[in-house]
Amino acid sequence: MTHEFVFRATVWLYQGAGAWHFVTLPKPLSARIKSITAGRNKAFGTVRVEAAIGETRWRTSIFPDNKLAAYVLPVKTAVRKREHLQAGMIAEVLLVIET
């Protein structure tokens, strides 16, 4: 079964080692994804997804963030450059999850 979700979120820069950028999934959406993927998650609770922002699509994983009580989606450099995204900008994201 395929599940598609669309949401808008702010791109943010992780303040730890490296320059990783993420968007945080809305909490209600995170809860729904956790429910539909229960027992199928990979290491550390990750969920494999296909993501799209603008015209750019890629395969990655979303990660649970206990502090935020939500999943976070890494937005790699190639995607940010192609879609002209920077930290603080809002992105419309399509997530596709196969269950």
Tokens of 12: 């943010």
DSSP assignment letter at 25: P
Whole domain around residue 74: which residue ranges? Answer: 2-98
Q: What is the pLDDT along the chain (99 residues), one digit of tens a residue?
A: 999 999 999 999 998 777 899 999 999 999 999 999 987 766 788 999 999 999 999 999 999 999 999 999 999 999 999 999 999 999 999 999 998
* Domain containing residue 82: CATH number: 2.40.30.100
The span from the CA of 5 to the CA of 75, in Å, is 16
Considering its fold, how many domains does the chain have in total?
A: 1
DSSP assignment letter at 32: H
pLDDT for the residue 47:
95
Closest CA to 49 of 7, 12, 1, 4: 4
Residues contacting residue 49 through CB under 8 Å, at least 6 positions apart: 59, 60, 61, 62, 73, 95, 96, 97
